[in-house]
A and B are shown apart, each in its own frame.
Chain A
């Protein structure tokens, strides 16, 4: 019996069928994946942030969605807090002339000698990171920047992430949307660990 010849037309037909099957399968897999994958949001890794100031000026919102947060359980000790006072102040009182924050967004609350809590007025905070730089330089880094999700538009491409020089802005699951310092035995590996 003569074997049927596999023509060019057969080749094209079977190729088209396979391509269609792959496309439909792929589409189904993608749909399933999207259905199953958790929503992701943008967040700043405070251990990578270099306080470059671009969070304040590059967010698409009129006032940046990046705000300072204070990890109260990490630190609040310093009477001469580098994140609160301008360098070289003579008096350690809360007068506006002593405050480092350009928008007076930090309220320093006395707890007990010599502990303070730093409350961030989010309507005033512009996410410039100046206090974070002061706190990180001289303190424990308990002040750090985070994207506040009640304000963030969660753009497909974050305008700040695009210009971040330290690649500190990344996608995180919406179920754990913040990277808060304080659990210093976890990701930080600890300033407590990191010392001679």
Chain B
């Protein structure tokens, strides 16, 4: 009799547990992960053919970043501007020099003599020992500088707010490029969000992104468009969204290293824009909001991951003898 009661009790208990679990599954509580019938699903585009990935991540350097940061490489050294300081770091993470700069640095460019730091609306030039050499006035209240480069003795900035490239000679504004006008491009630079990049390649060519057009464009000092290529596609070969490629730089031989937002990924394109290989698939940046800023140390790709606050080093797989 007693055993029977225990059995009934256990059956009752199991039923209660089953009901509770069923209710939990079907409940509509906020923290109950319910399938979204209207899911925006781009998972298939995040998959990358492994044979296309020619790089492997070899090192992560934890850094302290504030909201903005600038990354550059020069003479095998990584330069990072953020958190009110400029740091020169080896690829192994050793800090060589460090000096104070203004807060809110957004981009940097380096040559033998100077370190140029771009802030939201002005530029400062430092000696490598941290001595401030010069600074420009605020260009415009609507300026948002996003990239800086040194080209033909000029400091060139990409101004996403004004949608123009500006060139400064000894602090004076001497060049302005508003982008192309022509049959295909009636509008100059299309900058829907503050991702507007410039870089100079080893042939001393000034290239800029036209992110709304998913294009990379080569300009001369007069603002003439000399070359361009674009790739509009959500597939790995192209760029998608409002503002891609969000970041880019060059390999020593002039090939492009591009970095995207939305579906963050880093790729290498030939000089004419064909996809050559993938450095980092979207899975490397799961959950990231920003495009990684990119620079190169020879064939090595240096990526500044703003979301994870780290410099990530990607090396060609072949160089380590690992395919």
Contact = CB atoms under 8 A, between A and B. Distances in A.
Interface string A81-93: 1100001100010
B40 A130 contact: yes
Interface string B24-61: 00001111001011111110110000000000000000
Interface size band for A:
35 or more
Interface of B: 28-31, 34, 36-42, 44-45, 67-71, 106-107, 144, 146, 160-161, 186-187, 190, 192-195, 212-214, 232, 234-235, 240-243, 261-263, 290, 293, 304, 306
Contacts of A138: 240-242, 261-263
17 contacts: A52-B34, A53-B36, A57-B37, A80-B234, A81-B242, A82-B241, A87-B40, A88-B44, A114-B190, A129-B38, A138-B263, A139-B241, A162-B30, A163-B30, A192-B161, A192-B193, A195-B193
B214 A102 contact: no
Given A87-B42, A134-B40, A196-B70, A165 B31 contact: yes
Contacts of B186: 112-113
Nearest to A196: B69
B70 A163 contact: no
Interface string A30-67: 00000000000000000000011110111000000000
Nearest to A161: B30
B240 A102 contact: no
Interface stretch (A13-21, A71-79, A150-158, A172-180): A71-79
Contacts of A165: 30-31
Contacts of A195: 68, 106, 146, 193-195, 290
Contact of B37 (A53, A112, A196): A53
Contact of B192 (A53, A54, A75, A134): A75
Interface string A178-196: 0000000000000111111
Interface of A: 51-54, 56-58, 75, 77-82, 87-88, 92, 100, 102, 112-114, 128-130, 133-134, 137-140, 162-165, 167, 191-196
B106 A140 contact: no
A133 B38 CA distance: 10
Given A87-B234, A133-B39, 8 more contacts: A75-B192, A75-B242, A80-B241, A137-B40, A137-B241, A138-B240, A140-B193, A196-B290
